[in-house]
Structure formats: structure tokens, C-alpha cells
């Protein structure tokens, strides 16, 4: 695959939320804090939502202000509270509020850096780190639901389906049909090759979804907070707003999408750790993960905004997947 620097892969969302100062002020009041005691610092990162560090002499809190609807905020709050009772490392949540029509979640501030930033700095990470990270994802995938579908508030599956991979497949088909009218996004030859790959291989993905499991759906280095130590530990898996009940291959496809970011031992170490928590990993997981990640690439290509970085990245990943399967 052509290497694309991490910061050049995707456009920033044009609809990121603007947060008025009174939202943060009133949030602190609602949780019984004196806003005058706190310094507010906007944190980098976040695709649509805005995150702020609220810092006093005695504590640090994160105020997460959502651009999406109120149900997304409540879902993430409920899911993080649920995960706090499981062996999955996530930030603690303290309050879910609606302030000036804006959904806000107050949570623990994780004083670390993202795995993405650590990798970009070039500081080495040993096999033990990737093994521990694999264990984290294995614990996530051990959480099962009665049916597949999008997770809502109170962990309800609002519009369930028999097989989430089949749902993704229908989305890919629909997107490829639409993209025939947008050869500037995906040329017709690549579109046809991708359609043929889908026809020949997608049944394997559908078959691999034996039982609906918790899927983060954005499991990649920018959403993994780690400590600043020489030998770091995972501080928390963040940004669960896109999570669903479906096929865990989505997370493996996302994490290993740009596997050139990691040292050459990372994959074996990660999978070794994963299997200690989730031993029944499909032996064809590499193929399955690459296939199901095509759903995310179609998701980028269908965007109406002029996101040229995202479009280029999606085409690059698609070409790499076609090459992997000999297409």
C-alpha cells in the first residue's frame, strides 16, 4: 500500500460543533462545581464532537460536547458506564446532561497521549504493549448481544437485524451503484473490480458473524489513550459513539488498515494477546478484516463534502485490498 502520513489521511469534519462558553460554565454548575475555580482548555482531536479539559487545583475533568443528537451522547454514556463493570479499560463517566440544547457528558480526563501520537513520535513500543492491547479488544469482543444492529441508549438495539455483516454488504452494493455516477471519486474500472470481489468473497464475511458482539467501530490509534511512560500502558479506549452489535472483524480491519504504522512484530503480538481473551478467532481473520473494512471506505466515498484527503485514502485502501486478493 502507498504510505499516507497519519495526519494526511482524512479531512476534518466541516460540521464540528461550536461550543459557546455558557455551555461549559453551566455544565460545571450542574455538577456542583464553581466555574471560577476551573481553567477550560480545548483539547485536540475529535471528528465532530468537542472535548474540553476542566482543570482546578484539586481535579481534572473532561467535558465532551456532542455535535450529534442527544441519543448518541446518552448511548456513549450508558455504554461507558456498562463497560466500567467489565475488564475493558475506558474512562469513567460522571454525568450526562443537556445544557443549552447541547448534549454533554462529564467524564474522567485521561492524562496521556494517543497511540497515534506516540507512533508518530517514533518512540518504540515493545511486543508486550501490543499483546496487552490485543487483550483489551478480546475483552470487548467477549461481550455479546441477543441481536445485531445499532446500539442506542440503555444498550438497546433499536433496529435489529439478523446479520450486521449482511447490512454492511447491502450498503457497499448501494454505494458502488451510486459511485458509478461519480467516477471522480472512484473510477469505473476499480468500481467493477471491487464489485466482483464483493460478489466472490462477501459470503465469507456474512458467515463469520456467528454471534453478535460488541464492536467499537472506530478502533484505531487515535482512539487509544496511553500513558506517557517509556513502557506505556493503555489508559483507555475512547470514542464509542459509533459502536454496534455485529462482527468484531470491523475492529481488526480498522486497527490493521495501516499496518505499516506498527513494528513488524505488532500483529503477531496483538493477536497472541487477543486470543488469550477470545480464543475462537477465525483463522481467516486477515482476509475477513480487509473485506469488512471496505464498508468504511465506501462510507468515506459517499460523503457529499469535498473531502479529497479522505477520498484519496479510501481509494488507496481499496486498491491495496484488491491487490491482496489478487484482483
Q: Are residues 271 and 138 in the same domain?
A: yes
Residue 292 has pLDDT above 90, yes or no: yes
Look at residues 91, 108, 125 and tell me which one is the last residue of a structural domain.
108
What number is the average pLDDT over the span 148-169? 93
Q: What is the per-residue pLDDT for 44?
A: 77
Q: Are residues 179 and 284 in the same domain?
A: yes
Q: Does residue 188 belong to any structural domain of this protein?
A: yes
How many domains is the chain partitioned into structurally? 2
Least confident of 7-21, 109-123, 124-138, 171-185: 7-21
Q: Does residue 73 belong to any structural domain of this protein?
A: yes
Q: What is the per-residue pLDDT for 67?
A: 87
Q: Are residues 118 and 79 in the same domain?
A: no
Q: Are residues 139 and 167 in the same domain?
A: yes
Q: Are residues 289 and 319 in the same domain?
A: yes
Q: Are residues 97 and 124 in the same domain?
A: no
User: Range of 98's domain?
Assistant: 6-108
10: CATH: 3.30.200.20
Q: What's the whole-number average pLDDT of the chain?
A: 95
- Reported confidence tier of residue 109, pLDDT bands at 50, 70, 90: very high
Q: Does residue 38 belong to any structural domain of this protein?
A: yes
What number is the average pLDDT over the span 186-206? 98
What number is the average pLDDT over the span 13-33? 86
CA atoms within 13 A on the CB side of 49: 22
**Given the C-alpha cell 460554565, which residue does it identify?**
25
> How does strand 234-237 pair with strand 113-114?
unpaired
Look at residues 71, 93, 108 and tell me which one is the last residue of a structural domain.
108
The share of the chain scoring above pLDDT 70, in percent, equals 97
Angle made by CA atoms 286, 289, 293, in degrees to the nearest 5:
145
Q: What is the per-residue pLDDT for 11?
A: 86
Q: Which of 243, 315, 210, 294 is nearest to 88 (CA)?
A: 243
DSSP, residue by residue, 161-179: BS-HHHHHHHHHHHHHHHH
The Cα 171–Cα 184 span in angstroms is 20
28-85: pLDDT as tens digits: 999 999 999 999 999 976 667 899 999 999 999 999 999 877 899 999 999 999 999 9
Q: Are residues 91 and 136 in the same domain?
A: no
135 and 217 in contact (C-beta within 8 Å)? no
Q: Does residue 118 belong to any structural domain of this protein?
A: yes
Q: Does residue 233 belong to any structural domain of this protein?
A: yes
pTM reported for the whole predicted model: 0.95
What number is the average pLDDT over the span 169-194? 98
Burial class of residue 195 in the structure, from the number of CB atoms within 10 Å of its CB (0-12 exposed, 13-18 middle, 19+ buried): middle
Q: Are residues 97 and 162 in the same domain?
A: no
**Given the C-alpha cell 497511540, which residue does it identify?**
115
Residue 287: count of CB within 10 angstroms of its CB: 18
- The cell for 5 is 502520513
Contacts for 77 with CB less than 8 Å, ≥ 6 apart? 93, 96, 105
Q: Are residues 179 and 124 in the same domain?
A: yes
Q: Are residues 155 and 228 in the same domain?
A: yes
Q: Which of 289, 282, 159, 170 is nearest to 219 (CA)?
A: 289
Q: Are residues 161 and 65 in the same domain?
A: no
Q: Does residue 1 belong to any structural domain of this protein?
A: no
Look at residues 61, 81, 108 and tell me which one is the last residue of a structural domain.
108
The Cα 30–Cα 23 span in angstroms is 10
Residue 12 has pLDDT above 80, yes or no: no
Q: Are residues 295 and 312 in the same domain?
A: yes
Amino acid at each position: 500500500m502507498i504510505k499516507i502520513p497519519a495526519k494526511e489521511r482524512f479531512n476534518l469534519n466541516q460540521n464540528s460543533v461550536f461550543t459557546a462558553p455558557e455551555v461549559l460554565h453551566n455544565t460545571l454548575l450542574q455538577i456542583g462545581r464553581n466555574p471560577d475555580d476551573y481553567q477550560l482548555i480545548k483539547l485536540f482531536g475529535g471528528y465532530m464532537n468537542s472535548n474540553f479539559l476542566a482543570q482546578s487545583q484539586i481535579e481534572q475533568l473532561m467535558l465532551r460536547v456532542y455535535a450529534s443528537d442527544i441519543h448518541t451522547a446518552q448511548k456513549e454514556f450508558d455504554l461507558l458506564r456498562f463497560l466500567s463493570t467489565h475488564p475493558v479499560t475506558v474512562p469513567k463517566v460522571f454525568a450526562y446532561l443537556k445544557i443549552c440544547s447541547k448534549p454533554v457528558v462529564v467524564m474522567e480526563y485521561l492524562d496521556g497521549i494517543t497511540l497515534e501520537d506516540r507512533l508518530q513520535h517514533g518512540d518504540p513500543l515493545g511486543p508486550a504493549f501490543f499483546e496487552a492491547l490485543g487483550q483489551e479488544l478480546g475483552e470487548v469482543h467477549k461481550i455479546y448481544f441477543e441481536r445485531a444492529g445499532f446500539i442506542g441508549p440503555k444498550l438497546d438495539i433499536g433496529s435489529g437485524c439478523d446479520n450486521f455483516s449482511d447490512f454492511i454488504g447491502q450498503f457497499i452494493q448501494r454505494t458502488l451503484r451510486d459511485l458509478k455516477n461519480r467516477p471522480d471519486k472512484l473510477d469505473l474500472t476499480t468500481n467493477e473490480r471491487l464489485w466482483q470481489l464483493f460478489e466472490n468473497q462477501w459470503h465469507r464475511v456474512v458467515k463469520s458473524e456467528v454471534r453478535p458482539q460488541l464492536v467499537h467501530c472506530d478502533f484505531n490509534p487515535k482512539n487509544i489513550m496511553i500513558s506517557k511512560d517509556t513502557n506505556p500502558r493503555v489508559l483507555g479506549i475512547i470514542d464509542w459513539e459509533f459502536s454496534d452489535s455485529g462482527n468484531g472483524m470491523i475492529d481488526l480491519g480498522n486497527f490493521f488498515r495501516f499496518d505499516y504504522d506498527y513494528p513488524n512484530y505488532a500483529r503477531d503480538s496483538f493477536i497472541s494477546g487477543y486470543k488469550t481473551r477470545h480464543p475462537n478467532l477465525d483463522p481467516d481473520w486477515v482476509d475477513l478484516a480487509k473485506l469488512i473494512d471496505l464498508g468504511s471506505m465506501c462510507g468515506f466515498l459517499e460523503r457529499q463534502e469535498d473531502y479529497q484527503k479522505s477520498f484519496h485514502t479510501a481509494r488507496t485502501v481499496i486498491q491495496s485490498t484488491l491487490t491482496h486478493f489478487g484482483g
